[in-house]
Amino acid sequence: MVTFKLNDEFMFGTATASTQIEGGDTGNTWYKWCQEGRIKDSSSCITACDHWNRVEEDTELLKNLGVQTHRMSLEWSRIEPSRGKFSDDAMKHYRDEIKLLVENNIKPLVTLHHFSEPIWFHEMGGWKKTGNADIFIEYVKYVVENLGDLVSDWVTFNEPNVYVDFGYVIGIFPPGERSLSEGLKVTAELINTHVKLYRLIHRIRRERKFAGRTMVGTAMHLRIFDGISSTGKMIAKVVDYLFNEMFMEGMTTGHMMFPLSKKGSSHKKGRYADFLGINYYTRNIVEFVFDPSLYFHELVCDKDLTKSDLGWDIYPEGIYKVCKRYYKKYKLPIYITENGISDKNDTKRPSFIASHLAYIAKAIKEGIPIERYYYWTLMDNFEWLEGESTDFGLYDCNFRTQERIPRKSVRLYEQICRRKELTAEMIGDFKKYSGITIETIR
């Protein structure tokens, strides 16, 4: 049986992203991607969860869950619909949304870049064009000046490693390019930009004397990469270096690891993060393949592990391993900024949540300061390439009627959020209510 107890200061929350839930915006790159027929189920982010018009309803869901914090993102193309022209209406909307969170004692963690960008930014050359980073920096300056009195905690970039790999190396996310050299250039540009944003956000909140301790970081997608054969183990180390290590080092210290270019970097190696944001979902086995189009490797799953609806391995111990590894290296507090499972029938989600939190509790007992846990996600949403076909939500969202229907896991997560523990009694009560047994996943 899996049980745990966390301290009263530990914060539970949920995470969402604007493009995935808001709907209604035609100015972002993902809307264009949808229009071009790139989504597996032919759905579109123009629908999503209609959150833009249902903020009060969805905030009530958060309030009922008993969360202490909520991670959300802002849609750049709404706030800056054309170059240098900022929308007062969009900013008022986000201020009102964040005020509602604060009034309900839910601390906001705001993400500034979550994959989506204005179409006009890409038409100007995006991150590949020298000087364009300044456009994003000016946007962030406007945002922090207008929201910094309400928001003290910021994520500059969500999963920059996924953004670069999928958008510039593999070519399955916007802008759909396939070039390792261009991917490395964009990586260096994002690291340089993050360093500047870290300093900027701290300066604005300090000069304006906004209340609260300023916390700035990134949300990194970290995976466990293992190899079985000797060649597979060697390739796994390379993949880990390029996907995990290179990005973590850059976004935490500003250091450009090989093969990144230091050209254009005016900062010194230092500390440019106040916390380590970790998005953890799964583990992969890496195998060598003689195919340059696949960069000589492929990621496969472990036949002995239970799978999510997406076929991802459920490997809770991995969250303990990545937290231990990167705390040892950087000695910073950790926020689990995303952790979740696609599970339409909701039979695996209870054990998934319980087992991952048990490993978090184990890490905390060993002195690793994990301070927050954000479940991904509040409700089923537009899940990028998968469209409407995945079910990560605590709430089932009917995309046609926009009805939010609580899954049985809602009751479990609500109790965990409020009590900061999972006891044998809670497990027994949940089984009586749901018929679902919560088991330890190894």
Q: Is residue 314 part of a domain?
A: no
Over pLDDT 70: what percentage of the chain?
100
Tokens of 315: 């490997």
The answer to whether 195 and 253 are in contact (CB under 8 A) is no
Please provide the average confidence, as pLDDT, over all residues in the chain.
97
The answer to whether 279 and 339 are in contact (CB under 8 A) is yes
Average pLDDT over residues 46-58: 98
First to last CA, the chain: 12
- At residue 413's C-alpha, the angle toward residues 103 and 352, to 5°, is 140
Q: Which domain holds residue 67?
A: 4-218+319-434
Q: How far is CA 376 from CA 43, 214, 303, 373, in A?
A: 20, 24, 25, 10
Task: Please say if the pLDDT value at position 260 is more than 90.
Answer: yes
Average pLDDT over residues 76-96: 98
Tens digit of each residue's pLDDT (9 = 90 or more) over 163-214: 999 999 999 999 999 999 999 999 999 999 999 999 999 999 999 999 999 9
Task: Please say if the pLDDT value at position 292 is more than 90.
Answer: no
Q: Which residues contact 196 (CB under 8 A, 6 or more apart)?
A: 133, 137, 267
Burial 70-91 (b: 16+ CB within 10 A, else e): bbbbbbbbbbbbeeeeeeeebb
Average pLDDT over residues 69-96: 98
In this prediction, residue 442 carries a pLDDT of 75
Residue 365's pLDDT band, with cuts at 50, 70 and 90, is very high
Closest CA to 412 of 66, 101, 178, 143: 66
Q: Is residue 294 part of a domain?
A: no
In this prediction, residue 266 carries a pLDDT of 84
In this prediction, residue 1 carries a pLDDT of 76
Residue 360's pLDDT band, with cuts at 50, 70 and 90, is very high
Q: Which residues contact 291 (CB under 8 A, 6 or more apart)?
A: none
The answer to whether 217 and 274 are in contact (CB under 8 A) is yes
Instruction: Determine the Cα–Cα distance for residues 319 and 276; give it in Å rounded to an integer.
Output: 13
Average pLDDT over residues 115-119: 98
Tens digit of each residue's pLDDT (9 = 90 or more) over 123-149: 999 999 999 999 999 999 999 999 999
Closest CA to 9 of 80, 68, 94: 68
Can you say how many angstroms the Cα of residue 307 is from the centroid of all Cα atoms in its chain?
A: 21
In this prediction, residue 286 carries a pLDDT of 95
Category of 171 on φ-ψ map: left (φ > 0), alpha (ψ -120 to 50) or beta: left
36 is catalytic: no
Number of other residues whose CB lies within 10 A of the CB of residue 61: 18
Instruction: Determine the Cα–Cα distance for residues 244 and 97; give it in Å rounded to an integer.
Output: 33
Q: DSSP states of 113-155 as a string?
A: ESS--BHHHHHTTGGGSTTTHHHHHHHHHHHHHHHTTT--EEE
Residues in the chain, how many? 442
Residue 290's pLDDT band, with cuts at 50, 70 and 90, is confident
Q: DSSP states of 174-231 as a string?
A: TT----HHHHHHHHHHHHHHHHHHHHHHHHHHHHTT-SS--EEEEEEEEEEEE-SSHH
Q: Is residue 137 part of a domain?
A: yes
Q: Which residues contact 345 (CB under 8 A, 6 or more apart)?
A: none
Q: Is residue 57 part of a domain?
A: yes
In this prediction, residue 307 carries a pLDDT of 97
Tens digit of each residue's pLDDT (9 = 90 or more) over 143-164: 999 999 999 999 999 999 999 9
Q: How far is CA 92 from CA 20, 106, 109, 206, in A?
A: 20, 19, 18, 23
Residue 393's pLDDT band, with cuts at 50, 70 and 90, is very high
**What is the DSSP pairing of strand 11-15 with strand 215-226?**
unpaired
Residue 25's pLDDT band, with cuts at 50, 70 and 90, is very high
The answer to whether 318 and 225 are in contact (CB under 8 A) is no
In this prediction, residue 236 carries a pLDDT of 96
Q: Tokens 């300093």 — which residue?
A: 199
Instruction: Determine the Cα–Cα distance for residues 331 and 333; give it in Å rounded to an integer.
Output: 7
Q: Is residue 413 part of a domain?
A: yes
Which parts of 234-369 are beta strand (E)?
A: 276-288, 297-300, 334-339
Task: Please say if the pLDDT value at position 293 is more than 90.
Answer: no
Q: How far is CA 65 from CA 61, 79, 372, in A?
A: 6, 29, 15
Average pLDDT over residues 320-333: 98
Average pLDDT over residues 43-67: 98
Instruction: Determine the Cα–Cα distance for residues 339 and 334; give it in Å rounded to an integer.
Output: 13
Identify the burial level of 120 via C-beta atoms within 10 angstroms of its C-beta, where 0-12 means exposed, 13-18 middle and 19 or more buried. middle
Q: Is residue 16 part of a domain?
A: yes
Question: Which residues on adjacent β-strands are paired with residue 13?
Answer: 69, 374
Closest CA to 189 of 144, 235, 129: 129
Residue 263's pLDDT band, with cuts at 50, 70 and 90, is confident
In this prediction, residue 265 carries a pLDDT of 86
Number of domains in the chain: 1
- Predicted TM-score (pTM) of the model is 0.98
The CATH number of residue 89's host domain is 3.20.20.80
- Catalytic annotation, pick one of 22, 159, 383, 388: 159
Q: Is residue 15 part of a domain?
A: yes
In this prediction, residue 197 carries a pLDDT of 98
